[in-house]
Chain A
Amino acid sequence: MKKVLSLILCSLIFALVIPTSSCKKQTVRELNVYNWEDYIACDEFDMIAEFEAWHEQTYGEKIVVNYSTFGTNENMYNELKLTQKGESFSYDLVCPSEYMIQKMIIEGMCEEFDYSKLDNYTKNVAPYIQDLFVKNDWYKYATCFNWGTMGFTYYPETEDGKGVNFDDVSSWSVVSNPKYANKITIKDSVRDSYVLALGNVNGQKLLDLQKQENYNPLSDEYNKQVHALLNDFSEESIEKSRVFLTETRKNLYGFEVDSGKQDMATGKLWINFAWSGDAVYAMDLAEEEGTYLEYVVPNEGSNIFFDGWVMPKGADKELAQRFLNFMYEESNAIENLDYICYSSPIVGEQVFEYVSLNYGLTTLIEVNPDDYDDLEELILVGDKYYSEVSLSQDPNFSGQSTYSLTYYDEESGEIITDEPIEIYAHSVKHFFGEKISGDGIIYTDSLNRQLVAMYPTAETMNRCVVMEHLETAELKKLNNMWDSVKVGYMKYSTMLMIVIAVVVLLGIFITLYILKKKGVRINLPKKDLGTLVKSERIK
C-alpha cells in the first residue's frame, strides 16, 4: 500500500506539472505565426486582429492567429527543431533572415508557395526584390517581408572639429582610423562583422573593380564581382580577417548588437556599424534630442539583408497564404511600415506618397476646402485652409536647387516661410519601377538621412550583395576566427606556467595540511602521555 500512496502522490504531481492542454477543443482553425519581436503593427492598427476580422468577413469562417516572437534566427531554428513532429513543424508561418531561409531550404524544411494565391505579392512587391528572389531560386519557398543594407550610422562633422568626415566614413577603413579611436562600435556577430573585415581585407580589390575600363556601376557583371569578393571564405581571407580584426579592435569602443542605437543618439559614439533599419531608428531617436545623424553605405560595397516569410513543412498553406496576401495589401503594408521603420518591399502610389510625405521635404500650400471631405486633415489659419504636401506634388515647385519651405508653427499659429535651403532630388524609380506613374523623385535636404537609408540609390544597391549561407565546416572556421578575435591570444607556455604554479601551490598546501592533521592526531596524545608519565615520575 505504500506504493499505492506514492503512486497517488506521483500522479498528483504530474497532474500539476502537465498543463491541461489535452482537453482543448479543436473546433476553430488556427494559424501559428512566428515572427521577430516588434516586427508587426500592433498599435491602433492591429494586423492580427484586422486579419481575423477580415477573414471572418471574407470567408465566413472564424479563425484564430497564435502569434509568437523570437529574438534570434538561431533561437527560432532551435525552437522549430525541438517542436518537430515527424516531418511537420508546429508553426505555419515563420520570418527568418536570408541565411536562415537558405539553410531551411537546403534542409528541406519549407513548403512551396502557390503564387496564384498571392496576387498581392506579384502586384505590389518591388520588381528588384522579386528578381532577387527568382535569381537566387528562393521564390518557391520564401517571400520578402523587409530588407535593408549594412553601413555606418555616423555623427556628421561639425565646424568645431567634432564628428566624422564624410570621406573617411564612406570607406570600410574608417574602423582602423586612429582619429576616431574609442568612438566606433561594430556588431557582436560573426556574419556581420566578417563583411566589415572583408571590406578591409579585399578593400583594394573592391575599389580596383571601379577602375576597370568597362566599369558600369549598374551592370550585373560588377555586382557579380562584388559578390565574389564579399563572399570570400577562403582560408587565407579568414586568416587575414583575423589579423585585421585583432589589430582593429584596439581602436574600437566595443562590440554590440542592440545598444548602438541609443549610444549614437546620446553621443557616446560617433560611428556605429548598423543595419539600415536601425540607422533610421537611431536617426529618429537622435532628432528628438536635437542631433542629426547620417547613414552611409561604404564605397567598396556592402551587404544587403532581408527577412522573409517561409511556411515550414506541415503548415496550413491555405490560411498562411491568405495571411500573407492580406499583409501584402498596400494599405496594410503602409500601416506596418509606419510601425516598424524597416523598408518594406511593397511599392505603389500609396507607399510612394507615404514615403515622400514622411521622409521627403514637405511644404504647405493653400487649398480649397470644398475639395476635401475630411477637413481635419487640413490646417486652418485665419480663414484660409492649408494642406501639407511633398515637394514633388507642390505645383509651384519646379525642382531648383534652393527653395524656401513653408510650415505651420503651432506655438504662434502662423504659417512660416523658412530661409531658402539647398535641396537634392533623390530618385526611387529604380525601386518602385512601373508601379508608380511619375518620375519617382523625392526631394530631400540631405542625401544621407532616413530617406536614402531606406531607399538607397540604384548604384548603392548594385554594390550590395547577399552573404551566402555557410556550410557547417566553413561556419566553424569563421566562428573559431571570431572567438580568437574576441578572446585574444594567450601563449601556451604562459598557460603551462600558470597551471604548474597552481599545482605546485596546491601541492604545498595539501602537504602542509596533511602534515598538520597528522600532527594533531598522533603527536598530541603522545605528548600528553609523556607529560603524564613524567609528572608521575616526579611524584
Chain B
Amino acid sequence: MTALKFSRKHLGIPYALFMAMFVVFPLLLIIYYAFTDPETGGLSFINFIDFFTSNANLTALFMSFALAILTTTICLLIAYPAAYILARTNVNKNGVMLLLFILPMWINFVLRTAAMKELLYKLGMFSSNNMSFINTLIGMVYDYLPFTILPIYTVLEKLDKNVLEASADLGANGFQTMFKVTIPLSMPGIVSAITMVLLPTMTSYVVSDTLGNGNVTIIGKLIENQFSVMYNWNAGSAIAMILLVLIFATMIVTGKFSEEDSSDARGGGLW
C-alpha cells in the first residue's frame, strides 16, 4: 500500500485550487471579455481600437501614469530614510516606531481618506480647484507610505552588518557605503515597494474622488465607468488588460535592473 502515503505536495492542493478559482479563472475571463465584441459577441479588437482612438482615455492613461510615478517616487524618497532609521538606529528598539508607521494600515482606507479631506480643508488646501491634483497626490502618498516602508524595512533589517564593516575597512566613507553597498543590497525591497504602490495608485479612484473633488480622473475611474454606467464589460476589461500589460512591462524593466544585486540579499522582497 504505497498509495495512501501523504506527501507534503498535497498540502499545496488547496492553494492551487484557490489560485485557479480566484486568480487564473478571473484573469481568463478578463482576457475573454477584452477580446470580444460587446454587440456580436465574436472575437474582435474593437475594444482596444476604441481605447487607443479616444483622446480622453489616452490622456487619462498618461495622467494616471504621471500620478503613479510621482506618488511612487515621493513615497520612496520618504520611506527609504524612514526605513533606514527604523532598521539601523535605536529609535525602534521596542518596535513602537514601526508600529506607528504601520498603524494607519489597520484603519479603513476610505475613512482615512475622508479624514485627510477634512484636514486638508482646515489647512486651506481646498481653496481652489487647481489644488485638486496636489491634494490627490498628498492623499495617495499618505495612503501608500506604509506599503513602501514595510518591504524596505524588512530588507534593511536583515542586512548583514559585517558587509557594512567590510566596506568601511576597505576605506569607503559613509556616503560611499550607502550608495555602493546599502542601496544596491536593498534593491529587492525597493522593487517590491514599487510593485505595491504603482498599480494601486493608478486605479484607486476613491482617493482622487474624495480629495480631487472629481477634478482628477484616473484610469481606474474609467474602468469603473465602463462597468457600471455603460454596461460595457468588454471595454472595461480591455482597459484593465492594457493596464496589466503596462504594469508588467514596468515590473520587468525595474526587475531587470535590480536582478544582479538582488541575488545577494535573501527575503524581504515579495518576489
Binding site for B on A (CB under 8 A): 1-2, 4-6, 9-10, 13, 72, 74-75, 77-78, 182, 185, 188-190, 249-250, 252-256, 259, 268, 475-476, 479-480, 483-484, 486-490, 492, 495, 498, 506, 509-510, 513, 517
Task: Give the contacting residue for A254; candidates B3, B55, B132; CB below 8 A.
Answer: B132
Task: Give the contacting residue for A506; candidates B128, B129, B231, B253; CB below 8 A.
Answer: B253
Question: In the complex, what residues of B have CB within 8 A of residue A10's CB?
Answer: 13, 17
Question: In the complex, what residues of B have CB within 8 A of residue A487's CB?
Answer: 56-57, 59-60, 63, 217, 222
Asked if residues A253 and B213 are in contact (CB atoms below 8 Å), the reply is yes
Q: What sequence of 0s and 1s flags, for each residue 6-18 of chain B, a beta carbon within 8 Å of any chain A beta carbon?
A: 1100100110010
Binding site for A on B (CB under 8 A): 1, 3-7, 10, 13-14, 17, 54-60, 62-63, 121, 126-129, 132, 209-210, 212-215, 217, 221-222, 225, 227-231, 253, 256-257, 260
Sample of 13 A–B contacts (CB below 8 Å)? A182-B129, A188-B209, A252-B129, A253-B126, A254-B214, A255-B215, A268-B126, A476-B230, A483-B222, A487-B60, A487-B217, A506-B253, A513-B257
Asked if residues B231 and A78 are in contact (CB atoms below 8 Å), the reply is yes
Task: Give the contacting residue for A9; candidates B10, B126, B210, B215; CB below 8 A.
Answer: B10
Cα separation A365 to B24 with both chains bound (whole Å): 74
Q: Are A256 and B225 also in contact (CB < 8 A) when A13-B14, A78-B231, A488-B59 are?
A: no
Question: In the complex, what residues of A have CB within 8 A of residue B230's CB?
Answer: 475-476, 479
Asked if residues B58 and A490 are in contact (CB atoms below 8 Å), the reply is yes
Question: In the complex, what residues of A have CB within 8 A of residue B213's CB?
Answer: 185, 253-256
CB A77 to nearest CB in B, in angstroms, measures: 7
Asked if residues A182 and B229 are in contact (CB atoms below 8 Å), the reply is no
Question: In the complex, what residues of A have CB within 8 A of residue B228's CB?
Answer: 72, 74-75, 78
Task: Give the contacting residue for B55; candidates A72, A256, A486, A489; CB below 8 A.
Answer: A489
Question: In the complex, what residues of A have CB within 8 A of residue B227's CB?
Answer: 78
Cα separation A529 to B129 with both chains bound (whole Å): 66
Cα separation A188 to B216 with both chains bound (whole Å): 12
Asked if residues A495 and B57 are in contact (CB atoms below 8 Å), the reply is no
Cα separation A10 to B15 with both chains bound (whole Å): 11
Question: In the complex, what residues of A have CB within 8 A of residue B56's CB?
Answer: 480, 483-484, 486-487, 489
CB A511 to nearest CB in B, in angstroms, measures: 13
- Beyond the given pairs A2-B7, A74-B231, 14 more chain A to chain B contacts, judged by CB atoms under 8 angstroms and listed by A's residue number, are A1-B4, A4-B3, A6-B13, A10-B17, A75-B228, A182-B127, A190-B229, A254-B129, A479-B230, A483-B225, A484-B56, A489-B56, A490-B62, A490-B63
Asked if residues A256 and B54 are in contact (CB atoms below 8 Å), the reply is no
CB A4 to nearest CB in B, in angstroms, measures: 8
Q: Are A5 and B6 also in contact (CB < 8 A) when A13-B17, A483-B225, A513-B256 are?
A: yes
Q: Are A492 and B129 also in contact (CB < 8 A) when A188-B214, A256-B213 are?
A: no
Closest to A103 in B: B231
Asked if residues B126 and A489 are in contact (CB atoms below 8 Å), the reply is no
Closest to B226 in A: A479
Q: Are A5 and B128 also in contact (CB < 8 A) when A480-B56, A489-B59, A490-B55 are?
A: no
Question: In the complex, what residues of A have CB within 8 A of residue B132's CB?
Answer: 254
Closest to B21 in A: A17
Cα separation A479 to B225 with both chains bound (whole Å): 9
Asked if residues A6 and B126 are in contact (CB atoms below 8 Å), the reply is no
Closest to B60 in A: A487
Question: In the complex, what residues of A have CB within 8 A of residue B225's CB?
Answer: 479, 483
Cα separation A253 to B126 with both chains bound (whole Å): 8
Asked if residues B59 and A9 are in contact (CB atoms below 8 Å), the reply is no
Question: In the complex, what residues of B have CB within 8 A of residue A495's CB?
Answer: 58-59, 62
Cα separation A256 to B129 with both chains bound (whole Å): 13
CB B67 to nearest CB in A, in angstroms, measures: 12
CB A380 to nearest CB in B, in angstroms, measures: 45
CB A302 to nearest CB in B, in angstroms, measures: 21
Asked if residues A492 and B55 are in contact (CB atoms below 8 Å), the reply is yes
Question: In the complex, what residues of A have CB within 8 A of residue B209's CB?
Answer: 188
Task: Give the contacting residue for B214; candidates A4, A182, A255; CB below 8 A.
Answer: A255
Cα separation A72 to B58 with both chains bound (whole Å): 27
Asked if residues A254 and B215 are in contact (CB atoms below 8 Å), the reply is yes
Closest to A256 in B: B214
Question: In the complex, what residues of B have CB within 8 A of residue A13's CB?
Answer: 14, 17
Cα separation A463 to B59 with both chains bound (whole Å): 39
CB A193 to nearest CB in B, in angstroms, measures: 10
CB A309 to nearest CB in B, in angstroms, measures: 22
Residue in A189, A483, A495, A509 with the greatest tally of chain B CB atoms within 10 Å: A483
Task: Give the contacting residue for A74; candidates B7, B127, B229, B256; CB below 8 A.
Answer: B229
CB B10 to nearest CB in A, in angstroms, measures: 6
Closest to A266 in B: B121
Task: Give the contacting residue for A483; candidates B17, B54, B121; CB below 8 A.
Answer: B54
Task: Give the contacting residue for B3; candidates A1, A78, A250, A506; CB below 8 A.
Answer: A1
Cα separation A190 to B222 with both chains bound (whole Å): 13
Closest to A17 in B: B21
Cα separation A396 to B16 with both chains bound (whole Å): 82
Question: In the complex, what residues of A have CB within 8 A of residue B210's CB?
Answer: 259
Cα separation A13 to B213 with both chains bound (whole Å): 45
Question: In the complex, what residues of B have CB within 8 A of residue A506's CB?
Answer: 253
Q: Are A498 and B59 also in contact (CB < 8 A) when A6-B10, A74-B229 are?
A: no
Closest to B213 in A: A254
Task: Give the contacting residue for A509; candidates B3, B221, B257; CB below 8 A.
Answer: B257
